[in-house]
Amino acid sequence: MARKVILDMDPGIDDAVALCLALADPRLEVIAVTATGGNVSPRQATRNVQAIIERIDPPRWPRIGAAESEQLLRTDARELYGAEGLGDAEFTVAELHNRHPSVKVLSEELRQAPGEITVVCSGPLSNLSALFQREPETAAMISELIVVGGSVAVGGNITAAAEFNIYCDAEAAQRVLRAKVPTTVVTLDATQKLVLRYDLLDMLRSRETRTAKLLAAILPGLYHIYRQRYGMEGVYLHDVAGVVAAMHPELFTTKALYGEVEVTGELTHGATVFDRRPQPEGAPNMDVALELDAAAVRDCIFRGLDHGE
Ligand code: RIB
Ligand code: CA
């Protein structure tokens, strides 16, 4: 029985790779993809979700949720992912007139299958936060929440202290992580242990599938920036780790921790603070992925993207 998932994402190149992997994997049934602003504006994120799904054209299209245009975010990642969020590639998309808001799609699908759906959030947590504010009862309808974000011991990536997804909407992250949903947070401590090198790009360039053609068009710019800016011969694909965590949780080492989000600090705004003392202040409220089996996760990514549509 395939695992029902809703992907809440802000494409973003690594979100795009994660979406392609999820759509290709028979272990996952992607019920919906709900866009959120983050890497790019809410409108651009919605367009990118639609552009990716149109190009992959999976046998069964997931519902698409539109990010709310008035979403307030602290920053974006266009410097890393390109002006439109998918590298140097520019995609035209059909204008979908009857787009449903992401929060409405989340609510409807969770109410239709309470206790059956895993929500994987690979962008800021604004949509779930808004849903829990408007319809608090929906939190209990989520079977499991997987959040790509936060950090324990490696500091931040958008500031010295904060990881991007949490930083963009820290108040939303605070509300969602306090909502008592069974949650796994895939932190930078785990995702930065996997560098995808040029062999991934080489593999994609050698294939003729729709997945390979799309990703071969959007990934090169990211490799260039990682080499230029960070001196790395490869890239992090943080969100892909989040989807692999839904496919193969056994590849991740997690620890139950009590954690909170800093929302008032000047230097630490958006930092995730985990109490790792012998007697923590609060009971553990999430499972935190600190390690991953890099070789096995890499193999899962290569196999999944090589057999995509
Ligand atoms: O910190 C990594 C996260 O920030 C990823 O979700 C990436 O897409 C960016 O949004
Ligand atoms: Ca993302």
pLDDT digits (tens, 9 = 90+) for 33-81: 999 999 999 999 999 999 999 999 999 999 999 999 888 888 888 888 9
Please indicate whether residue 14, judged by its CB atom, sits closer than 6 Å to ligand 1.
Answer: yes
The span from the CA of 255 to the CA of 242, in Å, is: 16
Please indicate whether residue 47, judged by its CB atom, sits closer than 6 Å to ligand 1.
Answer: no
Domains of the chain (ranges; CATH) run 3-306 (3.90.245.10)
Residue with tokens 């949509």: 127
275: region left, alpha or beta (phi > 0 left; psi from -120 to 50 alpha): beta
Give yes or no: 238 in active site: yes
Burial 64-75 (b: 16+ CB within 10 A, else e): bbbbbeebebbe
Burial 22-40 (b: 16+ CB within 10 A, else e): bbbbeebbbbbbbbbbbbb
Kindly compute the dihedral angle of the four CA atoms of residues 212, 87, 6, 303, in this order, to the nearest 10 degrees.
30
Q: How far is the CA of 164 from the centre of ligand 1 (A)?
A: 6
pLDDT digits (tens, 9 = 90+) for 81-135: 988 999 988 888 877 666 899 999 999 999 999 999 999 999 999 999 999 999 9
Provide the mean pLDDT of the chain.
Answer: 95
